[in-house]
């Protein structure tokens, strides 16, 4: 049994342009599809979590980045740029480093989680904070890379990103031996829902699977342009990863929803935080807040009768909980240290 070779090597014949590539890889992909017994009990469905926080930089972005940076390498690019709410910047920084490229990231000032900033710093990215939100950063990144074509744009508007990210659908079908009935995932810039839908359609078109899932795209209520049907000019949510008002892959997301008979939903910050805590405390999987939006949306859809019992459901949890320690510790009371004394421990455990 050989080890997982990274997703370009694993799915080379299904990734555009990859035939001759020597991949820039950190052995991303091959993430576990973890059964979620508590969520299954709550919904009467067979629920699985696709745990994307176990990728090399702790999010699904690595799937897109191995392909985007490998492609940039073969195009002779020496520098890449992205806009990011955090995870894309960490991933771009890591893969650019592997490729020996320069990486610069445009991030919305004060609105990215601590762990992501720490990653971008350690992985050697040139970090540029912008007095604006993600949508401003992306517009800026597009202008800069259009004016200076020697710098590659590695946001999901780069088709190579979508090619990489679609492999998550392949992995799910490979493990289940079929496509799920419903696939829930958080939606921000909408690249990932576009990619998943492409992956599912490709397996279906080639007869590897015999059905397509309904796609359930979940946005934060304060940043829900696809739910509202119009861009949001001042998106706000505690789930900073998806604090996005003008998704670049709007059409891809709409197609996924409509072609699959799926839905978009909004989850409030309270619902997101409740799902965030539930997944950690009841499934043993620590995800970042944005990732829990998929679970929040699934639970709400169940309550409203959108989800028949007995279905096979996959929830993508997109990023690792370690990315955002501040939100994890939110409202935690100041802890008093105890004496080095077994009686004191017993007392804490209410055994004495």
Positions in the binding site for ligand F0G (CB under 6 A): 59, 61, 84-88, 156, 186-192, 241-242, 288, 290-291, 318-319
Least separation in angstroms between residue 153's CB and ligand F0G is 13
Residue with tokens 């059409």: 251
Least separation in angstroms between residue 10's CB and ligand F0G is 21
- CB nearer to ligand F0G: pick between 59 and 77: 59
Least separation in angstroms between residue 136's CB and ligand F0G is 13
132 touches 108 (CB < 8 A): yes
What is the C-alpha separation between 275 and 74, in angstroms, rounded?
42
| Structure tokens given for 157 | 């508007």
What is the C-alpha separation between 79 and 261, in angstroms, rounded?
40
Least separation in angstroms between residue 344's CB and ligand F0G is 40
- CB nearer to ligand F0G: pick between 84 and 97: 84
Least separation in angstroms between residue 165's CB and ligand F0G is 8
What is the C-alpha separation between 72 and 60, in angstroms, rounded?
19
- CB nearer to ligand F0G: pick between 86 and 225: 86
- CB nearer to ligand F0G: pick between 145 and 318: 318
Helix, strand or coil, per DSSP, at residue 162: helix
- CB nearer to ligand F0G: pick between 21 and 156: 156
- CB nearer to ligand F0G: pick between 45 and 242: 242
- CB nearer to ligand F0G: pick between 44 and 325: 325
DSSP 332: P
Label residue 268 exposed, middle or buried (CB < 10 Å: 0-12, 13-18, 19+). Answer: middle
| Structure tokens given for 251 | 């059409």
Label residue 69 exposed, middle or buried (CB < 10 Å: 0-12, 13-18, 19+). Answer: buried
Least separation in angstroms between residue 284's CB and ligand F0G is 19
- CB nearer to ligand F0G: pick between 156 and 260: 156
* Whole-Å CA distances, 342 to 335, 336, 337, 338, 350: 18, 16, 13, 10, 12
276 touches 292 (CB < 8 A): yes
Helices 167-176 and 191-205, packing angle to 10 deg: 50
Least separation in angstroms between residue 350's CB and ligand F0G is 37
Least separation in angstroms between residue 140's CB and ligand F0G is 13
CA triple 34-165-206, angle to 5 deg: 90
């Amino acid at each position: 049994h050989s080890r997982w070779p990274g997703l370009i090597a694993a799915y080379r014949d299904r990734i555009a342009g990859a035939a001759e590539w020597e991949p820039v890889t950190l052995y991303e992909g091959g993430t576990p599809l973890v059964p979620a017994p508590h969520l299954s009990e709550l919904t009467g469905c067979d629920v699985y979590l696709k745990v994307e926080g176990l990728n090399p930089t702790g999010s699904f972005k690595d799937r897109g980045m191995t392909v985007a940076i490998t492609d940039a390498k073969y195009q002779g690019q020496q520098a890449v740029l992205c806009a990011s709410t955090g995870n894309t910047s960490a991933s771009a920084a890591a893969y650019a480093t592997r490729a020996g490229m320069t990486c610069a990231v445009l991030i919305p000032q004060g609105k990215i989680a601590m762990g992501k900033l720490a990653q971008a710093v350690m992985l050697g990215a040139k970090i540029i904070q912008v007095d604006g939100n993600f949508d401003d950063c992306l517009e800026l990144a597009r202008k800069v890379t259009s004016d200076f074509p020697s710098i590659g744009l590695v946001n999901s508007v780069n088709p190579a990103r979508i090619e990489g990210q679609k492999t998550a659908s392949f992995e799910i079908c490979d493990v289940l031996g079929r496509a799920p009935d419903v696939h829930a995932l958080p939606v921000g810039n909408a690249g990932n829902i576009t990619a998943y839908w492409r992956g599912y359609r490709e397996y279906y078109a080639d007869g590897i699977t015999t059905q397509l899932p309904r796609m359930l795209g979940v946005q934060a209520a304060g940043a829900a342009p696809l739910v509202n049907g119009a861009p949001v000019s001042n998106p706000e949510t505690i789930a900073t990863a998806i604090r996005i008002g003008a998704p670049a892959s709007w059409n891809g997301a709409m197609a996924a929803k409509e072609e699959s008979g799926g839905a978009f939903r909004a989850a409030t910050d309270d619902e997101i935080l409740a799902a965030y805590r539930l997944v950690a405390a009841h499934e043993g999987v620590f995800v970042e807040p944005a990732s829990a939006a998929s679970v929040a949306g699934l639970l709400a859809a169940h309550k409203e009768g959108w989800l028949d019992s007995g279905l096979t459901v996959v929830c993508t949890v997109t990023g690792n909980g370690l990315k955002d320690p501040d939100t994890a510790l939110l409202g935690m009371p100041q802890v008093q240290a105890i004496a080095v004394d077994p009686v004191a421990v017993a007392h804490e455990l209410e055994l004495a």
